[in-house]
Homo-oligomer: A and B are copies of this chain.
Amino acid sequence: MMNYPLLITDFMLRAARYFPKKEIVSIYPGGTFRYTYADWFKRVCRLGHALGSLGIKKGDRVASFALNNHRHFELYFGVPGVGAVLHTLNIRLSPENLVYIINHAEDKMIFVDEDVCFMLEPVMDKLKTVKQYVILSQTGKMPQTKLSPVVLYDDLIGQFPDQYDFPMDVDENDPCLICYTSATTGDPKGVVYSHRGLVLHSYSVVTSIGSKENDCIMLIVPMFHANAWGAPFIGPMMGMKLVLPGRQLLDMKAICGAIAEEKATFAYGVPTIWMMLHQYLEAGGEHDFSSIRLFSSGGSAMPIHLMESFEKKYGVPMIQGYGSTETSPVVSLSVPKSYMETLPAEEQLKIKATAGLPVPGLQVRIITTEGTEARMNGRDMGEICVRGPWIAGEYYKDPETSARIFKDGWFHTGDIGTMNEEGYITLVDRVKDMIKSAGEWISSIDLENTIMQHPKVMEAAVIGIPHPKWQERPCACVVPRPEHKDAITREEIIEFLQNRVAKWWLPDEVVFMEQIPKTSVGKFSKKELRKIVFPMLEVKEFDA
């Protein structure tokens, strides 16, 4: 066979050649902007020239600090297209983490959404390698900013021709994107994605979800989260219409309006988004989901009652995905098998609420503490280990952590899980969040999910608190639904759990709070939670 490389650039050329009329829709506070893959490609070509004019060379890192909009989508292909590496910065990172990762990646330029310039200004003096800021502006006006030197994106690319000869004699293993993990301990860690990895990830995700050209993706997951779960690549590969909701990510009225208006068939989001959407719907929010064929959730576990409500009450099937920054990110998807379609709805829902079946091309093993593979029985626990062509083999410039996490050819996820007879994974907990009580493990996630089924509860997180006799005991941190605030008791929670979990799993403490602290990607931050809860309970010593 020909020695022909797998390049995401090919996806771009395919969209421009065969799907030039298909639309990309980008939603701004001032209104909806729409253009076609043909228009998009012309601007990516201009961007290619512009990057060259600014001295960007093969392998250079170029950062984006932006949400889901059409200019960001141009960067996704223009930067890798010229051989450089797009570094998608999470706009919710702490200033310390931002400085660390920009310097660690040695970013040469940063492309910044006009409305988040102010977030970079406090740290700009600490960025050692950044030579140019470029403002992604839909208003066309240069915002008041101290970032310097600075130029408007449209002015920068506007001066160049709309044709560009993207190099195709590229090694498919060359880097094209880089993303940092949202570290819960220590410094963030960089994961470098290759063309090969992202192409194969795209193929596998499309085969698993059954996406087609006639799908329209509403991308509610931020474009700085682990390659936006691959959506920016499967869109042009398949010629699918894309809807990028920009700053409207958290505005459920706008999201529902765009779903109806653009006839979206498919939406990706994290559980926090789905919870917000569900609250909006329950409050009678306007919506029309007739075009939707699937919602897909990922990033953390989706409460099963929420999936049930979306499916039964709002007629939208929902699946979950499992993965991480290190896995591009999709490892598994909770798509039921054909012969499961005859199961009772409740059983099917349980399958959709798992972390899913590994997608084609990956190998997944549950490794016990003894180093052997756990049986596929849905009970035997172990660390989830993954290998395959879109799984990271190391962290960027961090050989020590790499040696610990990527060993024997497997990525050790740090997640504890089980796999059932059918191959569906269930997450039990993070290795470090498991509660060790009397020599046994209690899964904080299981407890959380059970508590969240209580009708008065909106969110719940469980942490272990040190105990002189049992080593650790669970503490439940509960956020009541607004309408039940101050009208829910410790006893109600315990009573609710009594018939649902083992007796020794019952929390010793129940703490009510207004919100659970979250990480920059919307997961519970148990590190922050401990900082809040331990003093409340007068727990002295704790491992942060």
Q: Which A residues have a C-beta under 8 Å from some C-beta of B?
A: 1-6, 10-11, 13-14, 17-19, 21, 173, 192-194, 196-197, 199-200, 203-204, 206-207, 210-214, 237-239, 328, 335, 337-339, 341, 357-358, 360-361, 363, 387-393, 406, 409, 411, 422-423
- Assembled-state Cα–Cα distance A97/B259 (Å): 60
The 5 closest A-B pairs by CB, nearest first: A214-B338, A203-B203, A1-B197, A18-B423, A2-B393
| B393 touching A194, Cβ below 8 Å | no
Closest B residue by C-beta to A168: B363
Sample of 17 further A-B pairs with CB below 8 A, known A17-B423, A214-B341: A1-B192, A1-B391, A2-B392, A2-B406, A2-B409, A3-B393, A4-B387, A6-B361, A6-B389, A200-B203, A203-B361, A206-B206, A207-B238, A210-B212, A212-B338, A213-B338, A237-B360
Q: Which of A197, A387, A389, A406 has the most CB of B within 10 A?
A: A389
- Assembled-state Cα–Cα distance A21/B340 (Å): 12
Q: Which of A194, A206, A211, A422 has the most CB of B within 10 A?
A: A206
Known contacts A203-B207, A204-B203; A2 and B212 CB within 8 A of each other: no
| A2 touching B337, Cβ below 8 Å | no
Of B339, B392, B422, the residue contacting A1 (CB under 8 A) is B392
| A390 touching B1, Cβ below 8 Å | yes
| A2 touching B204, Cβ below 8 Å | no
| B206 touching A1, Cβ below 8 Å | no
| B196 touching A1, Cβ below 8 Å | yes
Closest B residue by C-beta to A205: B207
- Assembled-state Cα–Cα distance A89/B70 (Å): 52
**A394 nearest CB across to chain B (Å):** 9
Residues of B close to A193: CB separation below 8 A: 1
- Assembled-state Cα–Cα distance A391/B423 (Å): 34
Could you show 20 A-B contacts with beta carbons less than 8 Å apart?
A1-B193, A1-B194, A1-B391, A1-B393, A2-B387, A2-B388, A2-B389, A2-B391, A2-B392, A2-B409, A4-B387, A4-B391, A6-B389, A10-B363, A18-B357, A18-B422, A203-B207, A207-B207, A210-B212, A212-B338
Residues of B close to A361: CB separation below 8 A: 6, 10, 199, 203
